[in-house]
């Protein structure tokens, strides 16, 4: 069974083709998912992931069922494996947003339908596909692009680094020393870059990181489920994308954010709402990229 639990579940070639098809097929309405049902099990809030998968499946002729994890028997002790086996009998694919990547992988191991990671604490691979699609809309040659992530070494940064490294881009993850990416993520990105001819760098110095950047990218300082704390905010202050940070880049450098954003924390309002921000295009691309993903997992892989 073909799942999408992490960006490395697709080869570099498959990622590039998916992104190109997503650009070419924007606005597609078809019946390719006719008769198929997509379940969406979410344990955390969502605006973009939930709505873009719902609309995307609808535009491909499929049916979608949203299931809050709180309302399932999982919360009363039914096992992940039993849930996966039973839902596999009803559904043709499932998007899961949860906390633990291990729980997601347990679900996928027991499922006989494609499982898509709609975000875990460790990874956000669907976001990374839309990010790469957006980058590709500005640069034909991904091997000549420098993408700099600034902020917390979180799930968005791990998947962004992984997907950029896989396709041969130059990715820099710039975090405070105490908020660095986990070792597994660093190993993964550096290994992918070695194979693709790309570069994956990890640093704590924003001034050198942003030099020559084509894209600056940031995400919230406090991910879902994390309490705000003043020490972490102080550590992240120098990594905020604001006018001064942007002034260190070329006028062509664009600004990305997966949203939701907190203006005045990880990014200034002037930058987020300014002419170099491409965040709404990036958000729209969730829809286009995920339609291509559903086609590959729920149709092509079943043929």
- 127 noted as active-site residue: yes
List Cα–Cα distances, 190 to 24, 75, 183, in angstroms: 30, 38, 11
Alpha-carbon gap, residue 291 to 182, rounded angstroms: 30
Locate 29 and state its tokens: 């309405």
Residue 276 neighbours by CB under 8 Å, 6+ apart:
246, 251, 253, 254, 255
Among residues 121, 219, 254, 282, the one annotated as catalytic is 219
| Radius of gyration of the chain, Cα coordinates, nearest whole angstrom | 19
Q: Which of 123, 127, 254, 290 is catalytic?
A: 127
Contact residues for ligand CP (CB under 6 A)? Answer: 46-49, 119, 127, 258-259
Nearer to ligand CP, 154 or 268 (CB): 154
Least distance CB 129 / ligand CP (angstroms): 12
Tell the smallest beta-carbon distance from residue 156 to ligand CP (Å): 8
Instruction: Indicate if 258 belongs to the active site.
Output: yes
Residue 124 falls in the annotated catalytic set: yes
Q: Which is nearer to ligand CP, 42 or 202 (CB)?
A: 42
Nearer to ligand CP, 10 or 220 (CB): 220
Q: Is 240 a catalytic residue?
A: no
Q: Report, in Å, the least distance between residue 118 CB and ligand CP.
A: 7
**Is 82 marked active-site?**
no
The DSSP code for 180 is P
Give yes or no: 219 in active site: yes
- Residue closer to ligand CP by CB (options 119, 209) is 119
Closest CA to 134 of 213, 27, 23: 23
Catalytic residue among 126, 164, 174, 258: 258
Contacts of 101 (CB under 8 A, 6+ apart): 5, 6, 117, 120, 121, 122, 123
Catalytic residues: 97, 124, 127, 219, 258, 286
């Amino acid at each position: 069974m073909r799942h999408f639990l992490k960006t490395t579940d697709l080869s570099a070639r498959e990622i590039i083709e998916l992104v190109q098809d997503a650009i070419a097929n924007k606005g597609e309405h078809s019946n390719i998912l006719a008769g198929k049902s997509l379940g969406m099990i979410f344990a955390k809030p969502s605006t973009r992931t939930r709505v873009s998968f719902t609309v995307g499946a609808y535009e491909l002729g499929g049916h979608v069922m949203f299931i809050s994890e709180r309302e399932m028997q999982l919360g009363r002790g039914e096992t992940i494996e039993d849930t996966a086996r039973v839902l596999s009998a009803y559904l043709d694919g499932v998007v899961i947003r949860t906390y633990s990547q291990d729980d997601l992988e347990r679900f996928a191991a027991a499922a006989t339908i494609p499982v898509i990671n709609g975000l875990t604490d460790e990874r956000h691979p669907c976001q990374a596909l839309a990010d790469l699609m957006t980058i590709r809309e500005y640069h034909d040659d991904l091997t000549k692009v420098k993408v700099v992530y600034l902020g917390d070494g979180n799930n968005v940064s791990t998947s962004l680094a992984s997907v950029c490294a896989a396709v041969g881009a130059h990715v820099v993850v710039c975090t405070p020393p105490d908020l660095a990416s986990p070792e597994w993520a660093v190993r993964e990105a550096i290994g992918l870059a070695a194979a693709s001819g790309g570069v994956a760098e990890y640093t704590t110095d924003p001034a050198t990181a942003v030099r020559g950047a084509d894209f600056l990218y940031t995400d919230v300082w406090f991910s879902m489920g994390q309490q705000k704390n003043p020490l972490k905010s102080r550590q992240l202050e120098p990594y905020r994308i604001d006018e001064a940070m942007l002034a260190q880049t070329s006028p062509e450098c664009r600004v990305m954010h997966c949203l939701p954003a907190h203006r005045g924390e990880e990014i200034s309002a002037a930058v987020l709402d300014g002419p170099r921000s491409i965040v709404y295009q990036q958000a729209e691309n969730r829809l286009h990229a995920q339609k291509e993903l559903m086609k590959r997992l729920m149709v092509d892989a079943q043929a």
